[in-house]
Amino acid sequence: MDEVHIYERLKGIVPDVFDMETAELNPELRIEDIDGWDSLSHVRLILTIEKAFKIKFLTSEMGNLQNIGDLVAAIKSRL
């Protein structure tokens, strides 16, 4: 799966976690700037992504996920 496809799928996933209408994702969007973000919804986002893409992140990888671009790259590396 390439980055474009990953973005497309994230547009469906992120609103489910944060109770948003649509997600205007761009690589620079910082995850903690998303409305409704807190440390727990961050964990929920990671877990939801793991299930959706059937991947598992290492604990050490999770700390480096600042923005959407980091997230996409991390997903791509695990696929």
List interacting residues with other proteins (CB under 8 A): 16-17, 19, 39-40, 43-44, 47-48, 51, 59, 62
Question: Nearer Cβ to other proteins, position 2 or 63?
Answer: 63
Question: Nearer Cβ to other proteins, position 48 or 67?
Answer: 48
What minimum distance in Å lies between the beta carbon of 64 and other proteins?
Answer: 14
Alpha carbons within 13 angstroms on the beta-carbon side of residue 24 total 2
